[in-house]
Amino acid sequence: MTNPVLAFVFPGQGSQQIGMLSDTAKAFPEIGATFSEASSTLGYDLWDLCQNGAQEDINLTERTQPLLLTSSVALYRAWLANGGVKPACMAGHSLGEWSALVCAGVLAFDDAVRLVRERGRLMQEAVPAGEGAMAAIIGLDDQAVEAACAEAAQGGVVAAVNYNSPGQVVIAGSAAAVERAIESCKAAGAKRAMPLPVSAPFHTELMRPAAEKLASQIEAAVFNAPEMPVIHNVHAKSEANPAAIKALMVEQIYSPVRWTSCVQAMAVDGVSQLVECGPGKVLAGLTKRIDRSLAAFSIESPAQMSEAIASTAV
């Protein structure tokens, strides 16, 4: 059964924590089974890494990406196995778009694990450590952030890359240009402008080499038509054609994440409930800033899972 007003949203990098999903794994066998499946594909014990490893290990992009994909798919499987209804549509923030595609039946989980590991490796390789940066700009409208970036570029690369909610935009680019843009945003009246602890300038033109290298692997993978609409980061619309979805997943690597527009598009289509399917509650928080009329649920813990399943039952 599908709930016509329910959407699932999947988080991206930054939601990972050592020890995450430990209680959930005890309650739902789907968690351990999904992690075992991913570990077989990766060649190392992903569950042990996220329970007993170091935070700096899971913050390595080529490990973060398979870890968050696996966490989200595991929670979605547990949701369905425990009586949760299927959503009417899905979206994922950056990396989370791959989780949405797996859960919408576009590609096999093991293929996605391989692709996002490679995606992470190539994105990290594209810009040497220390040469790129990202920063969160709070309390400035999109146009003012874009103008500050244009002023600060001075031949370098800096751009708005994550339109997360009204008044919250992430910028990224070469380290010196981002530093100049932070000062420009402060001068323009930003409440806060703070560097983010990330290892590469994601979703900028600097990522285009990574996208070009990953394109052949995406092209070789089997993509199916989605079982339900997936709203894409690049243009905040759904796409039914597998070849077009492949092209969007390449373009997504060096294009801004238009998250505010994605959530607004779902609301226009009649969505009134969102479930954040992954560790943390970043997207649930952003949802409230984008559209206060939307009910947002997290399902990271067994209690949250039970409450969300009951609240979204048709």
Q: What would the DSSP string read from start to end of the chain?
A: -EEEEEEEEE--TT---TTTTHHHHHH-HHHHHHHHHHHHHHTS-HHHHHHHS-HHHHTSHHHHHHHHHHHHHHHHHHHHHTTPPEEEEEEESTTHHHHHHHHTTSS-HHHHHHHHHHHHHHHHHHS-TTSEEEEEEES--HHHHHHHHHHHHTTS-EEEEEEEETTEEEEEEEHHHHHHHHHHHHHTT-SEEEE---SS-TTSGGGHHHHHHHHHHHHHS-----SS-EE-TTTS-B---HHHHHHHHHHGGGS-B-HHHHHHHHHHTT--EEEE-SSSSHHHHHHHHH-TTSEEEE-SSHHHHHHHHHHT--
Q: How far are the Cα atoms of 110, 121, 124, 263 from residue 87, in angstroms, in the given order?
A: 23, 32, 33, 14
The answer to whether 182 touches 304, Cβ cutoff 8 Å, is no
User: Residue 1's beta-bridge partner residues?
Assistant: none
Task: Return the active site residues.
Answer: 94, 203
CA distance linking residue 308 with residue 314, whole number of Å? 12
Residues in the chain: 314
The phi, psi pair for 8, rounded to 5°, reads -105, 135
